[in-house]
Structure 1
Amino acid sequence: MRFPLAIFPALLAAVLLVLAPAVTARADLFGGKMTLRDENKMGHDFDQIIRAQQNMVGDTYITDYVAGVVARVVTGKRPMPFHVKSAVIANPLINAFAIPGGYIYVFTGLIQSVTTESQLAGVIAHELAHVSQRHVVSRIEKQKKITLLSTAGMLAGLLLGVAGGGGNAAQAGQALVLGSQGVATAAMLHYSQEDEREADHVGLNSLVKAGYNPEGLPQTFQIMLKNKWYDNSSNMPSYLSTHPGTEDRITYLNDRIARMPKSFLERKDDNTRLNRVQVLIRARMSPANTALAYWDDKEESEYKPMDYVGRGITLERLKRIDEAQAAFEKALSLAKDDPLVVREAGIFFFKAGQADRAAALLQKAAIMDKDDAMALFYLARLQAEAKQYAEAARNMRKVNELVPEDWEVHQHLGMILGESGDTFGGNLHLAYAGVYSMRLGKAREYMQRARDLAQTQEQKDRVRELEDTIKARAEIRK
């Protein structure tokens, strides 16, 4: 349930070693053609690699918001050949990408950079158009001889910006997939101008059909270009490195939009949820001093309750606990029945060691939003500390259902179950904690303990499922 910002260039190596053999075998088997089933399998494998190597956001308030925007965009794309699945990556780069099979990933840096939901939806619509139009798959199919290196190069090239943001790490990634044999060409590492034009066209259509303001798409590209021109930091939009011809595409999009009915351009977004998500991202994931400067520069007369929450989170990160508490008290005085305000105040008081105050707030937040993983996570930890193991296990299991691959959730659930006397369940979940934190030695150690404790057929089946999961993760590490 934490939000680190490290980036893992090893993603490229993992793609090279794991994904390409399966794609190659299937493509050769079908004479270079890939079916929707092949694409789904490719997407699933790729998703496992990404989740193992990248820092996935586990706060359901953030991920549910993004999923809602994605789902709305998909309504404008029917029929869509895939069930679209979204995830949020904790990374300050302005980026997003989609892969075959309908998997789409949005970076926190992109969410933070937009000013309207239509802008965020525009990028999502564009990315999903690459998937629905099968641009990546078509490139694979056009190769008469699909080799291990060229296939991995095409797919990994779309993620060069993910791994390195267009800097030295990206160059290293390119050398990794191309340097040793030079089978793939640099041109295969980028969408073509034709691909981009089609994705812009199809994406704009779906954006309009979904009820968004079409100006959101070119506006986001303009935001990216502005960052490219004026920002030489690590936050430069890596999105631009894998999506060529942005300036010409802005002109094309604006020309199309100018011919649309005026009513489309008058559509207004409700940006309330977006702004609340942005507060969480800024406060929790931006450098603390940078985040505090944002709230210091804002007139307090303009503060909303969530601004006090964001300020409080930031001050707590800076160990200015008294000031942080004052900010949370102010937020509660203004919005004592706002589930997100209550949740964040509860988390603060948990970290500040004020268990009774934290428990009351987290219990209230969990009642108001029964699917808030963060509220339930900290509530379960408080209950475990009070030795209320049945309640703690029930709530942590609910968190595990909401965020199934978070290693910290499995870690705490394993400890809760072990302390309650369920040693089989405790060892099983501690093994999963090892899997999802990529500490596979620990995972095997706890798996063996769970195997020794398994008595029922159901328990034995669960150990076998765990073993299969460990084997799959081990392949990613090779």
Structure 2
Amino acid sequence: MRTGLSRYLLAGILSISPVSLIQADDLPLIANSSSTISLDQEYQLGRTWARMLRGSAPEYGDPLLVNYIDGLLWKIAANSQLQDHRLDLIVLDTPVLNAFAVPGGVVGINAGLFLGAQDEQEFASVIAHELAHLSQRHYAQQLEESRRNTPLLLAGILASILIASADSQAGMAGITSSMAAGQQSSINFTRRNEQEADRIGMLNMVNSGFDPYAMPRMFSRLQRASRFLGQKPPEFLLTHPVTESRIADAENRAGQLTKPAFKQQSYEYQLLKKRVEVHYASDLNQLIKGYQVSASDDQLSAYGLALALIKKGDYDQAEKALAKLPDNLQRHLYIRLTYAELALAAGKHQQALQQMEQLIQLYPDSYPVSQRYAKALSANRQYKKAARILSELSQRFPSNSYIWYELAEAYGLAGNTLGVHEARSEYFLLTGSTDKALRQIDFALREKNLSSSDIARLEERKREAERVREQIKNSL
């Protein structure tokens, strides 16, 4: 029987049976025996959907931000009830505040979540909520519920998710119309799962060292802000409906948990928040003026000012803004990387390389440091070395499409044609463009002086690409 991917994606946008607050080891394994789909099938379906999403919506390429979210995701996942820890993070380049979880361990975070979450605690609460949906396999419950009731138009919902990545208004209109085809019992079922994800998510937050009150605080603040501004609620509230009773229940549950001891907030989150603010600034000059007013009293605004000036191309003033940061921030990795970014943007390539050579010695395993080091190497025409660094990263982070894209560029500059075709084929496979991936593999097979191991490797990748193409075809 053909299993369509679109049937199983409702949990990623509508999530959803209340349980009493209990210890992690005693949490129920939902849909473990009655589910019509295995964990391995979930994994394959999720990876197929991830390819389609990457090919339909732009990803956020800042390695600092991606690396930070990935670390936070794994910190909470380590204290979750996930049976399958094969997670795949996708960070979308959109200011729309949203997050979602897809069967098979795919977690999507919009960069705009940084604009809505006030601090790391609130940001972590969203991740904990989504991981709870995955661990409880809510999508399997929704599947079984839909089979007992009038089926929802899940194929339309799948298309709406993809559209919403680029056009949230159009996507939500599609989701709304698709939901209208379902019965009220299905909608009530999703609300119960939302409440369960809140409760389990808060428990996992505590076990990860976060304040459980951050979750109801996040929901309540977003709800109040949307009402005060007279705008439609943030996308997250539309796909994760919040009511006063739900917030009250979350606050009550948080009060039953032991709040972790106070710990000083690190600078990472707030520095990244400034990077996102600058990235999505609609009026850069106005943002610069605002930062200039507050920079003397707020060192984070001073950092935002430096970033905004770099984006504007005013490199001298940007360097002066960075130089005014206090010593404790001057030593911070993010600031040191920003100095290198400034040097690269200003065309001071040798200076940037020197800065990155120092950092790679201190942080040899850091993804953002290695990525920026490769950029500095390429800027200084050391293409083969840059390709070697990126090749190592591609082995560590095989589902990071940005790394494969940059690796193909580095191979091209280094004159490695075979490497170009192979890196491009991996990039196209990750973004669901299987025909383009197969074309690149065919180009690679035509290269001269291929070894027997080269041919065997390429033939295996061709078979894999054909399998992926068939999976995507059967999922639509």
TM-score range, shorter chain: 0.7 to 0.9
Secondary structure of residue in 2 paired with 1:274 = helix
Hey, what does 1:292 align to over in structure 2?
288
Hey, what does 1:277 align to over in structure 2?
272
Tell me how far apart the structure 2 counterparts of residues 297 and 344 of structure 1 sit (CA, whole Å).
22
Tell me how far apart the structure 1 counterparts of residues 96 and 365 of structure 2 sit (CA, whole Å).
28
One-letter code of the match for 1:313?
L
Change (3 A) 1:377 1:227: same
The one of 217, 240, 263 equivalent to 1:243 is 240
1:301 is aligned to 2:301: no
Alpha carbons 2:132, 2:197 under 8 Å: kept: yes
Change (3 A) 1:105 1:189: farther
Q: Identify unmatched segments of 5+ residues in structure 1.
A: 1-16, 24-29
Change (3 A) 1:366 1:148: farther
The one of 382, 388, 393 equivalent to 1:394 is 388
One-letter code of the match for 1:67?
D
Give 1:164 deviation, angstroms. 4.4
Change (3 A) 1:31 1:76: closer
Hey, what does 1:50 align to over in structure 2?
53
The one of 55, 64, 79 equivalent to 2:67 is 64
Secondary structure of residue in 1 paired with 2:297 = helix
Tell me how far apart the structure 2 counterparts of residues 406 and 32 of structure 1 sit (CA, whole Å).
31
Change (3 A) 1:146 1:190: closer
Give 1:353 deviation, angstroms. 1.0
Hey, what does 2:115 align to over in structure 1?
112
433-442 or 126-135, larger mean C-alpha shift: 433-442
Give 1:451 deviation, angstroms. 1.2
Tell me how far apart the structure 2 counterparts of residues 189 and 395 of structure 1 sit (CA, whole Å).
49
Change (3 A) 1:154 1:95: same
Secondary structure of residue in 2 paired with 1:55 = coil
Tell me how far apart the structure 2 counterparts of residues 92 and 20 of structure 1 sit (CA, whole Å).
26
Tell me how far apart the structure 2 counterparts of residues 81 and 450 of structure 1 sit (CA, whole Å).
35
264-273 or 248-257, larger mean C-alpha shift: 264-273
Alpha carbons 2:271, 2:303 under 8 Å: kept: no
Map residues 55-454 of structure 1 onto 2, 5 A cutoff. Answer: 55-78=58-81, 80-144=83-147, 150-153=153-156, 164-165=167-168, 167-172=169-174, 174-175=176-177, 184=182, 188=186, 192-231=190-229, 236-260=233-257, 264=259, 267-268=262-263, 270-287=265-282, 288-289=284-285, 291-303=287-299, 307-331=301-325, 335-405=329-399, 409-433=403-427, 443=437, 445-453=439-447
Change (3 A) 1:122 1:327: same
Tell me how far apart the structure 2 counterparts of residues 316 and 190 of structure 1 sit (CA, whole Å).
49
Alpha carbons 2:206, 2:257 under 8 Å: kept: no
Secondary structure of residue in 2 paired with 1:97 = strand
Secondary structure of residue in 2 paired with 1:192 = helix
The one of 3, 8, 19 equivalent to 2:5 is 19
Give 1:452 deviation, angstroms. 0.4
Give 1:446 deviation, angstroms. 3.9
Alpha carbons 1:32, 1:142 under 8 Å: kept: no
Change (3 A) 1:337 1:259: closer
One-letter code of the match for 1:20?
S
Change (3 A) 1:295 1:138: same
Alpha carbons 2:60, 2:91 under 8 Å: kept: yes
Task: Give identity over the alignment, percent.
Answer: 21
Secondary structure of residue in 2 paired with 1:56 = coil
Change (3 A) 1:52 1:371: farther
Give 1:56 deviation, angstroms. 2.5
Give 1:445 deviation, angstroms. 5.0
**TM-score, normalised on structure 1?**
0.79
Secondary structure of residue in 1 paired with 2:109 = strand
Deviations 1:41-96 (A, max 9, x none): 22222222222223323434322322332233234334645444433222212211
Change (3 A) 1:392 1:50: same
Aligned-CA RMSD value: 3.8
Hey, what does 1:460 align to over in structure 2?
455
Hey, what does 2:17 align to over in structure 1?
none
Alpha carbons 1:97, 1:104 under 8 Å: kept: yes
Tell me how far apart the structure 2 counterparts of residues 446 and 158 of structure 1 sit (CA, whole Å).
29
One-letter code of the match for 1:42?
L
Tell me how far apart the structure 2 counterparts of residues 373 and 198 of structure 1 sit (CA, whole Å).
35
Alpha carbons 1:161, 1:238 under 8 Å: kept: no
Alpha carbons 2:353, 2:373 under 8 Å: kept: yes
Tell me how far apart the structure 2 counterparts of residues 94 and 228 of structure 1 sit (CA, whole Å).
12
Alpha carbons 2:378, 2:410 under 8 Å: kept: yes
Give 1:438 deviation, angstroms. 6.9
Give 1:185 deviation, angstroms. 5.4
182-191 or 340-349, larger mean C-alpha shift: 182-191
Change (3 A) 1:434 1:123: closer
432-441 or 420-429, larger mean C-alpha shift: 432-441
Tell me how far apart the structure 2 counterparts of residues 92 and 407 of structure 1 sit (CA, whole Å).
20
Structure with more contact order per residue of length (Cα contacts < 8 Å, sep ≥ 6): 2
Hey, what does 1:12 align to over in structure 2?
none
Tell me how far apart the structure 1 counterparts of residues 61 and 286 of structure 2 sit (CA, whole Å).
23
49-58 or 241-250, larger mean C-alpha shift: 49-58
Tell me how far apart the structure 1 counterparts of residues 415 and 156 of structure 2 sit (CA, whole Å).
50
Tell me how far apart the structure 2 counterparts of residues 74 and 297 of structure 1 sit (CA, whole Å).
40
239-248 or 421-430, larger mean C-alpha shift: 421-430
Tell me how far apart the structure 1 counterparts of residues 239 and 417 of structure 2 sit (CA, whole Å).
49
One-letter code of the match for 2:6?
A
Give 1:153 deviation, angstroms. 4.8
Secondary structure of residue in 1 paired with 2:36 = coil
One-letter code of the match for 2:119?
T
273-282 or 441-450, larger mean C-alpha shift: 441-450
Alpha carbons 1:362, 1:379 under 8 Å: kept: yes
